[in-house]
Structure 1
């Protein structure tokens, strides 16, 4: 199954960065395995500044999820009502660009759109 294979490759690629990737990976994996989203939609929403909720209490937030988007300074992950971790925005962007590259390698027909979303994501947060 290609979807599971790409996720395994994604986890390996994330792990090789030395960045704090676990919560982002778990959220991406859960959204796909549970059928809540696919990666092209996930990264498209992210490129617009919108986080994602896998289920009630299992989500992450980006600037457009905040009451004051200008106060956004890190990507926060939540389980229940508790923030489990947060990562610097540049680390998040780096991880999402890696995810786009890995996804594009496994699904070349969808690669252009995913890579465009990754570029928009980088452009959006390069100002922060």
Structure 2
């Protein structure tokens, strides 16, 4: 499997919001929370919208991650090792996003089972 290049990983480590676009009808990026570790990038869907980035990627549509002024094309997969890496993804979310106030509510919420089952791993294309 192809790995992400360092500039993408560094951007995700340094920025709380990262742009995602998925689906053939999408022209704009939606800023979401992403975490990276072991040269892998993950995000969890917060909402249940049928036309969300998560559902588009799950259905096999191509996506893109925007990092600064750059874009990398991606596909999304449900991680094959999700049961094993869930504690690591949870820890990454809490470390990055549990900064107090409203963020704490969402940081802890995204580690709940309903959101864990909507974990997506991004795989670079090209």
What TM-score range do you get, normalising by the shorter chain?
Answer: 0.3 to 0.5
Normalization by structure 2: what TM-score? 0.39
Q: Which has the bigger relative contact order, CA under 8 A and spacing at least 6?
A: 2
Whose strand proportion is higher, 1 or 2?
2
